[in-house]
Amino acid sequence: MLNRRQFLQLAATTSALVPVKIAQARSRSLLKPARLKPGAMVGIISPASATFVKEELDIVLDAVRGLGLVPKLGSHVRDRYGYLAGTDRDRAADINQFFQDPQVAALLPIRGGWGCSRILPYLDYEVIRQNPKIIIGFSDITALILGINARTQLVTFHGPHGLTSWRKSQTEDFRRVLFAGETVTIANPKDGDDSDRLMQVKNRIQTITPGIAKGKLIGGNLSVLSGIVGSPYLPNMAGAILFLEDTGENIYRLDRLMTHLKIAGVFDKLAGFIFGQCPGCTPDADYGSLTLEEVVWGHIQPLKIPAYYGAAIGHVENIVTLPIGLDVEIDANAGIIRMLEAAVV
């Protein structure tokens, strides 16, 4: 039995250790996956929506082979559970298995859709931390790449999934970052239609607040990211460069999502901000609407941090490969992102 003095001493010692353990967890060094090499094996996963058409899976396999890589299907990749690609535990099990498999160098989702947030509690983050590998995707995969980065400090990648276009420019960007380990500069491409114009019409950048900022790059789909705010699966946003994109949302809904980030304190912590593309994001009001520009400027301009709008990031034809959790520098005047170090080893 402890007397009162012994109990108070023990309680004080224990409470003093808690912040230390939290600080140690937050200060874990950044983990980088190994770069891809020709002939490396890629685990094909289906962490979100189901794939109902067999031909789509065949297309993904051909894309992986076209990259000079060897595809390996997850055990549950053909499963269906309603609109999901199997149960939450089974979808997570494929990810855990591939991180454990020493032959697998990278994990590539077939598609996004919906479902990644549901599997986050079932991932084995210690296994992932002990076996750092490339995992990439966008849209609903935002929850997966952010959750893994938040819990393990592994650099993950916002980039193409299996059913994206894999055209020349997308493939070259993927290779430069993940095969060659280059420190690339990401800027909007010049559209071919603009080559004989006096001015640029497509892929224009608008500066919200001029300046240069440095910080770890965090971001993805606005709807998905907003849904994990307040959970242990959102990375620490202090000093981060946040990028957001979305698709097919009414403007008032985008305002609601950005307001959520604002009142949750996410915006207050940022060093810089990028808004990407939002195809199909239109007003839905009988008597008028804010424009998307007015919504974004209204939330971001008061922060007085370097910020720009119109980056070629999101549900667009060529998906750029962006490192999540890696330090970058942005120039809000020029609309560019510079990687400050290689994302792979």
pLDDT, tens digit, 9 for 90 and up, residues 298-307: 999 999 999 9
pLDDT for position 284: 78
pLDDT, tens digit, 9 for 90 and up, residues 51-60: 999 999 999 9
Rounded to 5 degrees, φ, ψ at 38 are -55, 135
C-alpha span between 332 and 308 (Å, rounded): 5
C-alpha span between 119 and 143 (Å, rounded): 9
Q: How far is CA 106 from CA 33, 114, 189, 272, 344, in A?
A: 9, 21, 27, 30, 12
The yes-or-no verdict on residue 8 having pLDDT over 60 is: no
C-alpha span between 31 and 156 (Å, rounded): 9
**What average pLDDT does range 315-342 have in this prediction?**
97
The yes-or-no verdict on residue 289 having pLDDT over 60 is: yes
The yes-or-no verdict on residue 17 having pLDDT over 70 is: no
C-alpha span between 111 and 107 (Å, rounded): 12
pLDDT for position 317: 86
The yes-or-no verdict on residue 92 having pLDDT over 50 is: yes
Whole-structure pTM over 0.75, yes or no? Answer: yes
pLDDT for position 202: 84
- What tokens were used for 80? 């269906």
pLDDT for position 6: 53
pLDDT for position 28: 66
Q: Are 306 and 300 in contact (CB under 8 A)?
A: no
pLDDT for position 14: 47
pLDDT for position 3: 53
Q: Is beta strand 206-209 parallel, antiparallel or unpaired with respect to 307-309?
A: antiparallel
C-alpha span between 20 and 16 (Å, rounded): 7
Query: Please, which pLDDT band fits residue 102 given cuts at 50, 70 and 90?
Result: very high
Q: Which are the catalytic amino acids? A: 139, 245, 315
The yes-or-no verdict on residue 107 having pLDDT over 80 is: yes
Mean pLDDT check: name the lowest of 23-32, 55-64, 97-106, 228-237.
23-32
- pLDDT averaged over the chain? 92
Which DSSP symbol is given to 311? Answer: -
The yes-or-no verdict on residue 7 having pLDDT over 50 is: no
pLDDT for position 286: 66
CATH superfamily of the domain spanning 41-178: Murein tetrapeptidase LD-carboxypeptidase, N-terminal domain (3.40.50.10740)
- To the nearest whole percent, how much of the chain has pLDDT over 90? 84
pLDDT, tens digit, 9 for 90 and up, residues 170-220: 999 999 999 999 999 999 987 766 667 788 888 899 999 999 999 999 999
pLDDT for position 189: 87
Of the two residues 6 and 310, the one the predictor is more confident about is 310
The CATH topology of domain 185-339 is Glucose Oxidase; domain 1 (3.50.30)
Tokens 């959790």 belong to 325
Of the two residues 16 and 257, the one the predictor is more confident about is 257
Q: Same topology for domains 41-178 and 185-339, yes or no?
A: no
- To the nearest whole percent, how much of the chain has pLDDT over 70? 90
**What average pLDDT does range 253-266 have in this prediction?**
98
Where in the chain are the domains?
A: 41-178, 185-339
Q: Are 147 and 141 in contact (CB under 8 A)?
A: no
- Cα dihedral 209→213→216→221 (10° resolution): 20
